[in-house]
Amino acid sequence: MQKFSALILAAAVSSAGPAHAVWSAESDPHLPVNRVTATTFEVIEKRGAGAQDIWCAAARFAEDVLGKQRGRLYVAKARGPAQTAPGAKGVLFTIDTPANASKSYSVSVNVEGQGLLLAHARQFCWNYVLELED
């Protein structure tokens, strides 16, 4: 039975045509970002945005508004009630290295002190789409 199932799966996959990755247009989550201090800002979560969308918005703000071109971004206050938008959820970021700073490859907005390289966070602004050719 397992061999038969494997044959059916192989036939279905091969008939779908080859798959290839497409690097599509830049993602634009349109998440509001509010400045708190000269080096701290809050990304407001909306429309089901996930951690990657939030890091993308933080990277864009750090580059476009704060003029930061390299270095790290850090979660200053983990995802929770927003400070700058009553009733909303938000994540407070900083470009200053906090005392509880940690370097990570994990993409979370729930751990204070977690930091990502600006370039790493910026990559979440791009969509990678897997398309099947007919």
103 in helix, strand or coil?
strand
pLDDT by residue (tens digit) across 39-97? 999 999 988 889 999 999 999 999 999 999 999 999 999 999 999 999 999 999 999 99
Q: Quick check: is 12 in a domain?
A: no
Residue 8 resides in a domain: no
- Residue 73: inside a domain: yes
pTM of the model: 0.74
Residue 18 lies in a domain: no
Helix, strand or coil, per DSSP, at residue 67 = coil
Q: What is the pLDDT of residues 16-31, one digit of tens each?
A: 444 433 333 445 558 9
Domain range for 90 is 25-129
Number of domains the chain is built from:
1
| Residue 17 forms part of a structural domain | no
Residue 2 domain-assigned (yes or no): no
83 CB-near residues (< 8 Å, 6+ apart) = 36, 42, 77, 90, 92
